[in-house]
Each structure stands twice: as C-alpha cells, then as structure tokens.
Structure 1
C-alpha cells in the first residue's frame, strides 16, 4: 500500500493499450485530474487496464472511450464510458461472476476466460470500494468505481 496519483495511472493505462485503440481508430478522451490515493497501486493499475481493454474490445471501429476521475463525498470516482455494443439488462447482475460470459457474440477472442471483471470487483472490494455498471445494447457501457479515501 502506498500513495499514488490515480490520473497518472490512468494515463499510463492508455499508453500501454495504445496499439489496441489505435488499431481500431478509437478516440480516447481523458478527463483526469491529479488525485492522490492510498492503496495498492499495482492492483488498481490492473483494474484500469482491464476496464480499458474491455472497452476497446467491445467498441466498434472509430468509436470512443471516455475515462474520467473525480472526488465526491470522500470517494475517488473513476469511470470508463464507451459507445460500444452494450450489454442487455438481464446480464448486468451476473457480469462480476467468475467465468461468466454474456454470450458467444461478445467473446471475440478464444483466450477470454470470463475472469477479468470478477478480478476487478475483488480488487475494488479489497480497497473497501464498489463498482457499478450501466449499459444499453448498441449504445455503450459505463463502469464506475468508487474508492473511499482513507
């Protein structure tokens, strides 16, 4: 556990995934401000990268992903919004279950294990936080992480 800048980690995640989003000609909109947080930076970096790569995977050619951070009521809030294929409402309650895959159409790579979002949730909960998802089919998805400042 240490103090780190959330915005710096988010920028690094975008840099690490650059070849993926450039290949699909996606627009990445970063609306991030310097923000210190005390936590496990290595694990939270995995959260940001997982949510970003999921957004890239399920957003079509020329789409957009917006990453934002802010502080509200002593919570660091980070959101990832895409204008991708979205998720039907009946699947949302199961997204964070281990090995859960929405459907074959969403699993575009054979190496997908269905573990990514369950790991994301575990890491967020290890920090006494929580994650929410809002989505509409063919309109996109927003994942929002709330991490209490300690």
Structure 2
C-alpha cells in the first residue's frame, strides 16, 4: 500500500511539473518586438515548416489574418548552391467559401532568405500555395506568415 502511495505521489508531482512546463511553452509566442526592426506590428502571426519535392505543389491551410496587409518570409535550403538563381512560386489566395480569389504570386529563392508582402488586401481567410517547378527539393524550418 505504501508503494502505491509513493507512485501516486510521483505521478501527481510529475504531472504538475509537466502541466507547468506545457503552459510555459504555450506562452512562448512571437510578439511585436520580433518585427521591430522593420516597424511592423503584426496582428496575426503563424509559424510553420515547408518541404517541397522537385516539380511539386503544396497548398497551405486557410487561416484568418486580421490586418490589412499579409506577408510571408522564410529562409529556404536546398542542394542548389547559394549562388543559384533557381526559384519557386508562392501564391496568396483569399478563401470566400465556395470561391477563392488569387491575390498575387511572388518568386522565392530555392536557397536563402526571401520575403513577400501584399498590401491593402483587407482582413480575411487566406492561404498560400507553394509551387516548385525546379529540379531541386526545397526545405524551410522557419516559415513566417503574418498580417499587419
């Protein structure tokens, strides 16, 4: 009986520690200071990763952006040398339920940092389409999508 109490006590203690750790990790979200260098104060901010095979297309999830402008930036990596001019397209679409509007397309480097913004598009549901027609796969661990 004493061992059962000790095990229960440990589970409760570690359970509380795990809960506290989980809650503290939830608080680690970007703030306006992340964009302070550029004078941008974001309303909506989403982080993600990206993996695109060569000659492939990926549609991101629809998300609500509450600012009037929408932007995306990332540092992508590939087997292509950094001096390469290879690119892939990132399209912004506005979702209206049954119909969707194409807003615009930006070319992103297969290797290196690229940023694109669309201004005065209004708040709403948007999604990105990533279209890689190069012969190289693309990967990014720091895709940032935001509105201001």
Q: Using structure 1 for the length normalisation, give the TM-score.
A: 0.23
The one of the two structures with greater contact order (alpha-carbon pairs below 8 A, sep at least 6) is: 2
Give TM-score scaled by structure 2 length. 0.23
- Which structure has more strand as a fraction of its residues? 2
The structure whose Rg is larger is: 2
Q: Return the structure number with greater helix share.
A: 1
